[in-house]
Structure 1
Amino acid sequence: MMGTSTLVCAPITAETVRKMVSDMGKAAALGADLVEIRLDYLKVFNSNEDLKTLIKESPSPTLFTYRPKWQGGQYDGDEKHRLDALRLAMELGADYIDVEFQVAHEFIDSIYGKKPDKFKVIVSSHNYQDTPSVEDLGDLVARMQATGADIVSITTTALDITDVARIFQITVHSQVPVIGLAMGERGLISRILCAKFGGYLTSGTLDSGIVSVPGEPAIKDILHVYNFRLIRPGTKLFGVIGKPISHSKSPLLYNEGFKSVGFDGVYLHLLVDDIANFLRTYSSTDFSGFSVGIPHKEAAVKCCDEVDPVAKSIGAVNCIVRRPTDGKLFGLNTDYFGSISAIEDGLRGSHDRDNTTGSPLAGRLFVVMGAGGAGKALAYGAKQKGARIVIANRKYDRARKLADEVGGDALSFAELENFHPEDGMVLANATSVGMQPNIDETPIPKHALRSYSLVFDAVYNPKMTRLLSEAAESSVTVVSGVEMLIGQAYEQFERFTGLPAPKELFRKVMENCL
Structure 2
Amino acid sequence: MICIPIVDNNIDDALKNAEKALKEADIVEFRVDMLDDVNESAIEEMVKYPCIITVRADWEGGFWKKSNDERINLIKKAIECNAKFVDIELKEEKNKELVKFRDEIGSKTKIIISYHDFEKTPSCEELIKIVEEELKIGDIAKFAVMAKSKEDVLKVLNVINKYNGKIIGIAMGEEGKLTRILGVHFGSILTFASMEGKASAPGQIDVKKLKEIWKLIL
Q: TM-score higher than 0.5 here?
A: yes
Distance 1:169 1:115 in 2: 34
Distance 2:139 2:177 in 1: 25
Counterpart selection for 1:121 from 85, 105, 111: 111
Q: C-alpha offsets along residues 365-414 of structure 1, whole Å, 9 cap, x if unaligned?
A: xxxxxxxxxxxxxxxxxxxxxxxxxxxxxxxxxxxxxxxxxxxxxxxxxx
Q: C-alpha offsets along residues 176-205 of structure 1, whole Å, 9 cap, x if unaligned?
A: 611000000000000010122011110011
Q: In structure 2, do the counterparts of structure 1 residues 54 and 77 end up closer, same or farther at CA, with 3 Å as the change threshold?
A: same
- Secondary structure of the residue aligned to 2:22 is helix
Corresponding position of 1:96? 85
Corresponding position of 2:131? 141
What letter matches 1:223 in structure 2?
K
For the Cα contact (< 8 Å) 2:121–2:147, is it kept in 1?
yes
Corresponding position of 2:176? 187
What letter matches 1:88 in structure 2?
K
For the Cα contact (< 8 Å) 2:31–2:56, is it kept in 1?
yes
Distance 2:36 2:195 in 1: 20
Counterpart selection for 1:18 from 12, 23, 39: 12
For the Cα contact (< 8 Å) 1:9–1:35, is it kept in 2?
yes
For the Cα contact (< 8 Å) 1:9–1:33, is it kept in 2?
yes
Distance 2:74 2:54 in 1: 10
Corresponding position of 2:162? 173
For the Cα contact (< 8 Å) 2:165–2:189, is it kept in 1?
no
Counterpart selection for 1:131 from 121, 138, 147: 121
Distance 2:131 2:43 in 1: 30
Corresponding position of 1:432? none
Distance 1:178 1:68 in 2: 21
Q: C-alpha offsets along residues 190-226 of structure 1, whole Å, 9 cap, x if unaligned?
A: 001012201111001111x3222111111111112x1
- Secondary structure of the residue aligned to 2:195 is coil
Kindly report which structure 2 residues correspond to 1:98-497, keeping only aligned pairs within 5 A, or say none: 98-103=87-92, 104-117=95-108, 119-147=109-137, 149-174=138-163, 177-207=166-196, 209-224=197-212, 226-227=213-214, 255=216, 265=217
Distance 1:125 1:106 in 2: 18
Larger Rg: 1
**How big is the shift at 1:91?**
1.0
- Secondary structure of the residue aligned to 2:91 is helix
Counterpart selection for 1:37 from 23, 26, 30: 30
Q: In structure 2, do the counterparts of structure 1 residues 102 and 176 end up closer, same or farther at CA, with 3 Å as the change threshold?
A: farther
**How big is the shift at 1:115?**
3.6
Q: C-alpha offsets along residues 452-508 of structure 1, whole Å, 9 cap, x if unaligned?
A: xxxxxxxxxxxxxxxxxxxxxxxxxxxxxxxxxxxxxxxxxxxxxxxxxxxxxxxxx
Question: Any unmatched runs of 5+ in structure 1?
Answer: 1-6, 231-254, 256-264, 267-514
Distance 2:126 2:181 in 1: 24
Q: TM-score, normalised by structure 2?
A: 0.94
What letter matches 2:26 in structure 1?
D
Identical-pair percentage = 28
Count of aligned pairs: 216
Corresponding position of 2:68? 79
Question: Any unmatched runs of 5+ in structure 2?
Answer: none
- Which has the bigger relative contact order, CA under 8 A and spacing at least 6? 2
Counterpart selection for 2:53 from 60, 64, 81: 64
Residue 55 (structure 1) aligned with residue 44 (structure 2): no
For the Cα contact (< 8 Å) 2:121–2:152, is it kept in 1?
yes
Distance 2:55 2:125 in 1: 29
Q: In structure 2, do the counterparts of structure 1 residues 204 and 55 end up closer, same or farther at CA, with 3 Å as the change threshold?
A: same
Following TM superposition, the consecutive aligned residue runs of length 4 or more in structure 1 with deviations greater than 4 angstroms are: none
- Secondary structure of the residue aligned to 1:73 is coil
Distance 1:219 1:196 in 2: 16
Distance 2:106 2:149 in 1: 40
- Secondary structure of the residue aligned to 1:74 is coil
